[in-house]
């Protein structure tokens, strides 16, 4: 595809802003989270939402489905949830002649937007049932591959407060989330607005927005050119989190066991290209890269025992890399 034109950028911004405006009709005080979710949506990546109960994480995902006009599915993760409850299973069916055969019954993962609610409450075996769908856009049952719909995005939520009875997400699954976003508690003004919208007869809803072909925006985003020195900024930030590398910052050398994967660099570039388009630019800047460093890397670093014991956060390591 040729380099994006000014018309392409305007149409993309129009689609992005239209979705954002519809979502903000329903959600209050979560502008940064909405922007992050929409960035991941247009980049074709999955999102992990972390926040206390009652902050609107489930409503956010459902509203995105309503605004984008996509099929929405919600999976409540619990300790007794089984992989087949997610991906589906083969059932024995009998035709009019009495002949029996296996027929695949799709699970709730066969949707455009899949809300994995409280994903860390299910066992690692069940969590891993999403791995193939998230990476390969398909599931395999009894040796048969079943493609999931396109677009296909998983938006998972987890509660950081109640850790009893939870199972930390495997590193391989965490790495498949393009972004990890923190849903913050609203301020006083936002709480007033939430009360006005939810305790009166005013019930705002998001209307479907015609955003054009999703695949078209995918191609447009990837066609935004990037200078070598800007790519080098993304590469440096990622390598600065690896304790064994010469580029590693002091916190990484002392407290990190494993640094960010190459998927982190890919996430930085894709999100930075979207930021550039939204600003009406046809090139990526270093500021675009830095802007997405925290949400793209915070879930991809693994601290060592000393780092966990001393309460070091992955965000502290990333901020040091940004300032180096």
pLDDT tens across 178-194, in order? Answer: 999 998 888 898 888 88
pLDDT(209) > 90: no
Query: Running DSSP on this structure, what letter comes out for residue 201?
Result: S
Q: Mean of the per-residue pLDDT values for the chain?
A: 88
For residue 2, pLDDT beyond 90: no
Average pLDDT on 289-304 reads: 95
Structure token pair of residue 195? 């009360």
Residue 1: pLDDT over 70: no
Q: For residue 260, name the pLDDT band (cuts at 50, 70, 90).
A: very high
What pLDDT does residue 162 have?
63
In b/e form, how buried is each residue of 148-178, taking b as 16+ CB within 10 angstroms? bbebbbbbbbbbeeeeeebbebeeebbbbbb
Tokens for 165? Answer: 């009875």
Span 79-127, pLDDT tens digits:
899 988 999 888 888 777 778 877 788 889 999 999 999 888 888 888 8
Give the list of residues 6+ apart from residue 49 with CB closer than 8 angstroms, or none: 33, 37, 57, 60, 61, 155, 156, 157, 158, 181, 183
Reported as a single tens digit per residue, the pLDDT across 236-248 is 999 999 999 999 9
**Total-model pTM:** 0.90
**Which domains are delineated in the chain?**
1-202+211-223 (3.40.50.300), 226-324 (1.10.8.80)
Tell me what pLDDT residue 3 has: 62
Query: Above pLDDT 70, what percent of the chain?
Result: 97
Q: How many residues does the chain have?
A: 324
């Amino acid at each position: 595809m040729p380099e994006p034109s000014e018309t392409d950028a305007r149409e993309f911004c129009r689609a992005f802003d239209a979705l954002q405006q519809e979502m903000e009709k329903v959600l209050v005080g979560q502008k940064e989270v909405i922007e992050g979710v929409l960035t991941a949506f247009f980049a074709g990546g999955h999102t992990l939402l972390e926040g206390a109960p009652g902050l609107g994480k489930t409503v956010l995902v459902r509203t995105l489905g309503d605004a984008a006009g996509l099929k929405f599915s919600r999976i409540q993760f619990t300790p007794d949830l089984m992989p087949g409850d997610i991906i589906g299973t083969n059932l024995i069916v009998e035709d009019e002649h009495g002949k029996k055969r296996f027929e695949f019954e799709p699970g709730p993962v066969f949707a455009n937007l899949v809300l994995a609610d409280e994903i860390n409450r299910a066992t690692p075996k069940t969590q891993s049932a999403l791995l193939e769908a998230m990476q390969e856009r398909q599931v395999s049952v009894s040796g048969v591959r079943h493609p999931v719909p396109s677009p296909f995005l998983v938006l998972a939520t987890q509660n950081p407060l109640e850790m009893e009875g939870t199972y930390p997400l495997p590193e391989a699954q965490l790495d498949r989330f393009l972004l990890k976003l923190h849903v913050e508690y609203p301020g006083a003004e936002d709480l007033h607005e939430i009360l006005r919208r939810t305790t009166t007869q005013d019930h705002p809803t998001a209307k479907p927005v015609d955003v054009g072909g999703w695949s078209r925006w995918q191609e447009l985003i990837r066609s935004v050119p990037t200078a070598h020195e800007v790519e080098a900024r993304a590469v440096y930030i990622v390598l600065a989190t690896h304790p064994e590398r010469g580029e590693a910052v002091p916190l990484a050398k002392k407290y990190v066991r494993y640094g960010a994967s190459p998927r982190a660099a890919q996430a930085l570039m894709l999100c930075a290209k979207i930021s550039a388009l939204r600003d009406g630019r046809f090139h990526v800047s270093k500021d675009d890269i830095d802007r997405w460093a925290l949400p793209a890397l915070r879930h991809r670093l693994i601290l060592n025992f000393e780092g966990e014991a001393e309460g070091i956060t992955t965000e502290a390591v990333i901020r040091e890399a940004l300032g180096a």
